[in-house]
A and B are shown apart, each in its own frame.
Chain A
């Protein structure tokens, strides 16, 4: 077993764990294997245990990490869930564009309420995110002044570059969209369709990179317990909003499937149509994933809050 192999296997573990147990684990591997290369099963044991230690150290699982660390991880999970939900929500908004005329008047109220609920919940979540940034601003300024910009520069630049591309591409895409008919915009013009998908992927990438930059910044902050508690509470509201968005999208889809399935395929009103739409199904899957991630984040926040409260009592 070469030193390089050992080094690679140890990299599954977090740095703190390697500092404490790394030498012992290497000695165990030497005793177990002699000079022989490790089997796939042996590597698997190290890899899964290393990832588990990483999850425990970051507060993603268990209670090994402190309550503050678990609260931070919970907030970061909600932020990641919200970024995914924004993307899926934008896809939904594009699909749902001009849906009302496709429905007979008596069937319009519920899907319209569901659509309004999606917008209201998204606005609430966006407001909470901005409020959380405002609450964290003082700690962020302190972090940057203490030399944190060197940590932040790379993720911020990586997120900024595709964001500029998104704006530039939108400036080209918007006049093109306005020059097309509804039918051409909704799949009739393959060139426009391909350009829109490329732009949407760029938006998704930019969102993911901003979420990552936010997570890096948040990990570097040293907010007071009160500030962290406030951010945790706002993150919990964001997670509830993601739940509301997902439920409202499901209700909207069910209503359209029931009363105007043709709308999902752009075929004439009253024609036969399947309620199944792969793009909408993809968006719904991303929303469900976002919801799962955010709810796990909330469970970490709630557990950490309980522990912090019990320490205060």
Chain B
């Protein structure tokens, strides 16, 4: 699987890592959170496909739970991958803003 892409802000792995950055969530809560902060509705297949790949790469892990709604949390490696993607997006945004003569703070 490719690394979470900073060039595609609707990249499901990146959206999941972002959602899990503030605490563990199960599948349905993840989908709702991502829809709320990114406006992206991930289908169940896409969501669980991305969860599978992220877990394979050790970027997220399940939180022990007896509930079928198993929550996931971001791992240190996942936090590092997210930080790297965010830094790259920030560099790209700063470059775009500079070329447009805008300040990043003024862009809604």
Contacts and interface: CB of A to CB of B under 8 A. Distances in A.
A47 to B, nearest CB: 7
B1 A32 contact: no
Contacts of A48: 45
A17 B28 CA distance: 19
B44 A46 contact: yes
A287 to B, nearest CB: 34
A42 B44 contact: yes
B47 A28 contact: yes
A139 B53 CA distance: 33
B1 A31 contact: no
Contacts of A50: 45
Interface string A16-42: 010001011111110110000000011
A21 B52 contact: yes
Which of B44, B67, B70 gathers the greatest number of chain A CB atoms within 10 Å? B44
B49 interface: yes
Interface residues of B, number: 20
Given A25-B27, A28-B28, A42-B44, A49 B69 contact: no
Contacts of B44: 25, 28-29, 32, 42, 45-46, 49
Contact of B69 (A31, A42, A52): A31
Interface residues of A, number: 24
B20 to A, nearest CB: 15
B56 interface: yes
B13 to A, nearest CB: 14
A47 B45 contact: yes
B31 A32 contact: yes
A49 B50 CA distance: 10
A312 to B, nearest CB: 23
A62 B73 CA distance: 25
Contacts of A23: 68, 70
Given A23-B68, A62-B1, A64-B56, A28 B48 contact: yes
Interface string A149-160: 000000000000
Interface centre among B43, B46, B53 (most CB of A within 10 A): B43
7 contacts: A23-B68, A23-B70, A28-B27, A32-B28, A45-B43, A45-B44, A52-B49
Top 10 nearest A-B pairs (CB, nearest first) are A49-B45, A45-B43, A31-B28, A45-B45, A28-B27, A27-B68, A23-B68, A27-B69, A49-B49, A46-B45
